[in-house]
Structure 1
Amino acid sequence: MAPAAERSAQGYDVIVIGSGAAGLTAACAAADGGARVLLLEGSDLIGGTTAVSGGMAWLPGAAEHGDDRAAASRYLDAAAPCPPSPARDAFLDHADVARRWLDARTSTKLAAVPSYPDYDPDLPGGTLRGRCFAALPFDGAELGAWFPRLRPPLPEFMLMGGMMVGRADLPHFQNVLRSPRSAARVASLVARYAFQRLRHRRGTTLFLGNALAGRLLKSALDLGVTIETGAIVSALLPGNGGVAGVEIAGGSAKTRTVAGKAVILASGGFSHDAELRRLHLPGAAQKVTANVASPGPTGARLAEPFGARIEAGHENRAFWVPGSTFSRADGTPGVFPHTVTDRGKPGLIAVDANGRRFVNEARSYHHFVMAMLEDAPTRTPAYLICDADFLWKYGLGRLRPFRLSTRSERRSGYLIQAGTIGELAQRLGLDIGALEATVADYNAGAEQGADPAFGRGGDAYQRHLGDGAHRPNPCIAPIRRAPFYAIAVQPADLGTAAGLRTDARGRVLDGPGTPVPGLYACGNDMNSVMAGFYPGPGITLGPALTFGYLAGRDAAAL
């Protein structure tokens, strides 16, 4: 294999910027189409936000799972209403095509999650299963020398310093002290992990987004994609009436420019661009992001000289999640995304600065933050409140279940503990009488498994988030056993929804709506086909895989 500098001088057919799901899929599709492909990643690690995510992809149209395009279209019309667009039509037309191509031509094997409802399943076209797909578990050891360069999951989602646990095995860890079968299963998993640690810095059995990123990386390597990390693209090169290559500010190659017939932008959106955040996101959501983006200019910045702009028509220009912030033991800042682990479980409420509930806590994380932003001065931060039983059984934020000590989190201020609800209100700076009345009102309904104020547990998605073993309502239980706990959550983004306008093939459009020759965008660099709505699990990764496939295939044809 030629040195990196020499390869750069040779030029490529397709250059991909970014190594999340969109970028890796685009690179695979272009290489599978016969193109010479260079993938440039600005950080030292491959995988982007995909690698630290839940890894689910919303891919409608799978007939073998009872879905079809017409039903998915009806659902999006109801749950994510926006004017008709060629890009949305292309997504509906090709989501299942892209999934089947990944299965047939790459190592990226996706399976339907047995039961995962759309976020508004009672709307027309909504479904309880069949649209949400996840990567099969993957052995990271198959990556060889590339495994240490795959971005690891968030530390808060691993056990024993580096062990991932699949969804199917979580109940065994929860029942390890009560079930001999679970104890045996956990012992087997821990033994496997210990063996893997003899050769690797973390466990090699990968799940969730780490499995998806690992499988896509393996696929790209198998297809002959050249990958460079630490390569920050500082500009796109003009030529042939459009884009003809990139300028690299750093990385392993000494050559500063690389020629290419097409460039695909998949840098992860503008979550880390302070100026673009000020222009496009609410003031209350400026400080916290759960997005892991590469350093260097965003795709939107790189495309500006060619007349492309961020499409700013969405009401919500990011995909929201409540996030709690903290510092890890090594001093690095952390953001815990409160997606599915705590808010919907029975025995937790969220209150505002007035000590009052303001939202159905079991709705999706995006809906939760939308409610925060409706009255940001009193709901930012908001406080998640629970009792000792809840904390032990379900955990809270970065605190896992069955924690014997919470001293470090209390000392850091991440977790607030009090002996009574009144004392908890005092420690949070809330009105004591208001919080006591809020908890009393909630408990009165919770004793009967009801939530008269917000209807929590009222649809299949909410019940899915709850505890299926808890009756009569899997999302409702009283808050009554001291001590009581609270953590603060802020509006955070998982990624940006506003992005570059593209056509049905992923080609970037300029101001008048003409494709810029040789320039494509996918992932969060592309304007979301969901128009700022969040109708189901994986509505960022589903379009990322689909338009990565479409853009890569089209670019290879050049």
Structure 2
Amino acid sequence: MERDDDIPASVDLIVLGSGAAGLAAAVTAAHHGLSVLVVEKEDSFGGASAISGGTVWIPGNRQASEAKLDASLEAASTYLTHMIGSAIDRPLVETFLARGGEALAFLEEKSELRFKVRPFSPDYHMEVAGASDGGRALEVLEYDGSRLGRHFGELRKPPKGMLLFGGMMVNRGDVQHFLNARRSWTSLCHCLKLLARYAKDRIRHNRGTRLVVGNALIARLARSAFDLGIDLRLGVKTKALIEDGNRVCGIVVEAESGERRVRARAGVVFATGGFGASAEAGRWRSGTDVLHRSMSPAGNIGDGIELAGSVGAAMGEELASNFYWAPVSVLTLPGGQQEKFPHLVTDRAKPGLIAINRLGRRFVNEADSYHRFVLAMLAAPEVNSPCHLICDSAALAAYGLGLARPAPATNAALVRQGYLIKAGSIGELASKIGAEEGALRGTIERYNANAVDGADPDFGKGTNSYNRSMGDPDHRPNPCLAPLAKPPFYAVRLVTGDLGSARGIRTDAQARVLDAGGNPIPGLYAAGNDMNSIMNGTYPGPGITLGPALTFGYIAALHAVDRMKRLQQEEPR
């Protein structure tokens, strides 16, 4: 990156934040001829997007049409209408549906961003009208991080718990191959190939260069941004906005060289990632307690939202949820640092695992989405939060549990550190997790009796296509159900957590920031988690944050391009 004292005095467009929304806006604007400055206060780029699953939810995409999967915008509109309910912002939702495919096509054609459609990727609420089994979710293609050159070390690194062997990234397909490696020659070869590449990478790099999921998404966009000459500055904090009358026309930054004013002829885009990690976030998390953990990067403290508020921007109100929920387990390391693990797709839906509350009873369909899981915790936090995921030794060996890896890993260190609770009997397990033994024993006996037949009359685990897609496809009769019968037994404590904030700055369908009267503030845009959730804080499917982030980052940039053209036409000749 360039030196702070070389920050230009003026550019066409300023983007605050270097996640998916910000880079999509920057790449779109630069492709249309605008000079762009991206300002990132952290020492790495990518934000929460870089450590995300990298999936985007965009109905009506080209890939779905080509694969003859569900590409119906009408069905998607029906689904979102039922999911969001009466609070739906119809213009925003309709714009997302109408232009999401357009934004995706543009970014794939004009940048290095590439996606493939998941042929079977059910929405999170398959019981809702308009839900789809596949076609709306796309996953980013893997990327060679070495193509970033000297910038590779500046890309935000995923948390340690999401890496294998300290530095190897894997996606959902890779995980399945590792689980199948002992019973499938194809899977074994796939794993050996990954391991060989990783070993080679570690000769020259501090982690693997094969990037997948969110790291691949950001690396692809960043490479495109660098190729377009976009100026990306790290470690630069924005202190204030510059106004000209009621128009936002620049920023004041604080860098090593001191304060600098940077003018923005076309405007400023807020894409700083929301306020999930803010110390003030607790007041928006009704029902959670002090044990709550956010997966948001530490820098996502809402300073972008605060800056927008300083010029009169309005915030969203009365969302269904102010956060995108996910259960989280926490490992406390010897030095006191904490390693957080979000329980998204790797364990909860697998056979032989159930969730137990403080009373020793199940309280949720464990295979439902992470957002729905936490909503169940919050429905009765006095008994459901914290809770424990429990399993037997067969399930642990087959699938792992949170940070605990499947066989042949021993996980002895996690047991010593208190993260993985190990017990030789149900009675001992009840004592160690603080549950009433009789209740826990009765819960497991009832669950086991039904699991043998592949049934869960209490919570319906494994009865819908989303549940089954997260289970073990080789397990019968129900990919999500198996008895807990083989000691020793294991448990991991889960607390409420989140993947980021949903409450944000109100915008119109052009991504323009609105004031309290519903009027656009000229020169100011918002996208990503800075933008109030177009889903109103509901969570319809995988990638419902990144899909709108790319779409409205693209839309904001196009509006700024048109604004720049009008300003140029108004200049005296």
Please give the secondary structure, in 2, of the residue aligned with 1:236.
strand
- The one-letter code matched in structure 1 to 2:25 is A
Q: How does 1:43-82 map to 2 (within 5 A)?
A: 43-62=42-61, 63-64=65-66, 65-81=69-85, 82=87
**Cα pair 2:272 2:300 within 8 Å, conserved:** no
1:248 aligns with 2:247: no
Structure 1 residue runs of 5 or longer lacking an equivalent are: none
- 1:312 shift after superposition: 1.7
* Aligned partner of 1:343 among 328, 343, 348: 348
- Which is worse superposed, 202-211 or 239-248? 239-248
Aligned to 1:29: 28
- The one-letter code matched in structure 1 to 2:5 is A
1:453 aligns with 2:458: yes
Question: CA–CA distance in 1 between the matches of 2:373 and 2:190?
Answer: 36
* Aligned partner of 1:280 among 263, 284, 308: 284
**Cα pair 2:273 2:300 within 8 Å, conserved:** no
Please give the secondary structure, in 2, of the residue aligned with 1:258.
strand
Question: CA–CA distance in 2 between the matches of 1:66 and 1:210?
Answer: 27
Please give the secondary structure, in 1, of the residue aligned with 2:167.
coil
Aligned to 1:5: 5
Question: CA–CA distance in 2 between the matches of 1:157 and 1:56?
Answer: 16
Please give the secondary structure, in 1, of the residue aligned with 2:483.
coil
Question: CA–CA distance in 2 between the matches of 1:326 and 1:207?
Answer: 25
- The one-letter code matched in structure 1 to 2:177 is H
Calculate the aligned-residue CA RMSD, in Å: 1.8
Q: How does 1:12-411 map to 2 (within 5 A)?
A: 12-62=11-61, 63-64=65-66, 65-81=69-85, 82-250=87-255, 254-261=258-265, 262-275=267-280, 277-284=281-288, 287-294=292-299, 298-328=303-333, 332-411=337-416
Aligned to 1:433: 438
Please give the secondary structure, in 1, of the residue aligned with 2:496.
strand
**Cα pair 1:269 1:293 within 8 Å, conserved:** no
Question: CA–CA distance in 1 between the matches of 2:412 and 2:403?
Answer: 13
- 1:297 shift after superposition: 5.0
Question: CA–CA distance in 2 between the matches of 1:185 and 1:265?
Answer: 41
- The one-letter code matched in structure 2 to 1:224 is G
Q: How many residues align?
A: 555
Please give the secondary structure, in 1, of the residue aligned with 2:398.
helix
TM-score, structure 1 as length reference: 0.96
- The one-letter code matched in structure 2 to 1:306 is V
**Cα pair 1:234 1:296 within 8 Å, conserved:** no
**Cα pair 1:347 1:479 within 8 Å, conserved:** yes
- Which is worse superposed, 411-420 or 526-535? 411-420
Q: How does 1:494-509 map to 2 (within 5 A)?
A: 494-509=499-514
Question: CA–CA distance in 1 between the matches of 2:186 and 2:505?
Answer: 52
* Aligned partner of 1:469 among 474, 489, 511: 474
Please give the secondary structure, in 2, of the residue aligned with 1:8.
coil
1:413 aligns with 2:418: yes
Question: CA–CA distance in 2 between the matches of 1:285 and 1:500?
Answer: 26
**Cα pair 1:18 1:40 within 8 Å, conserved:** yes
Question: CA–CA distance in 1 between the matches of 2:361 and 2:183?
Answer: 38
Question: CA–CA distance in 2 between the matches of 1:25 and 1:332?
Answer: 34
- Alpha-carbon displacement from aligned partner over 1:435-494 (angstroms, at most 9, x marks no partner): 111111111111111101111111100110111100001111000110111111111110
**Cα pair 1:285 1:492 within 8 Å, conserved:** no
**Cα pair 2:70 2:136 within 8 Å, conserved:** no
- 1:254 shift after superposition: 4.2
Please give the secondary structure, in 1, of the residue aligned with 2:243.
strand
**Cα pair 1:416 1:427 within 8 Å, conserved:** yes
Question: CA–CA distance in 1 between the matches of 2:429 and 2:374?
Answer: 23
- Alpha-carbon displacement from aligned partner over 1:192-217 (angstroms, at most 9, x marks no partner): 22222222111111111111011111
**Cα pair 1:33 1:557 within 8 Å, conserved:** no
Question: CA–CA distance in 1 between the matches of 2:334 and 2:230?
Answer: 37
**Cα pair 1:43 1:295 within 8 Å, conserved:** no
Change (3 A) 1:68 1:272: same
Aligned to 1:514: 519
* Aligned partner of 2:552 among 547, 550, 554: 547
Question: CA–CA distance in 1 between the matches of 2:187 and 2:2?
Answer: 51
Question: CA–CA distance in 1 between the matches of 2:302 and 2:125?
Answer: 36
Change (3 A) 1:260 1:489: same
- 1:187 shift after superposition: 2.5
TM-score, structure 2 as length reference: 0.93
Please give the secondary structure, in 2, of the residue aligned with 1:129.
coil
Please give the secondary structure, in 2, of the residue aligned with 1:249.
strand
Please give the secondary structure, in 1, of the residue aligned with 2:26.
helix
Question: CA–CA distance in 2 between the matches of 1:80 and 1:482?
Answer: 44
- Alpha-carbon displacement from aligned partner over 1:416-439 (angstroms, at most 9, x marks no partner): 111111111111111111111111
Aligned to 2:567: none
**Cα pair 2:269 2:524 within 8 Å, conserved:** yes
- Which is worse superposed, 283-292 or 368-377? 283-292
**Cα pair 2:429 2:489 within 8 Å, conserved:** yes
- The one-letter code matched in structure 2 to 1:71 is A
Please give the secondary structure, in 1, of the residue aligned with 2:326.
strand
- 1:260 shift after superposition: 1.1
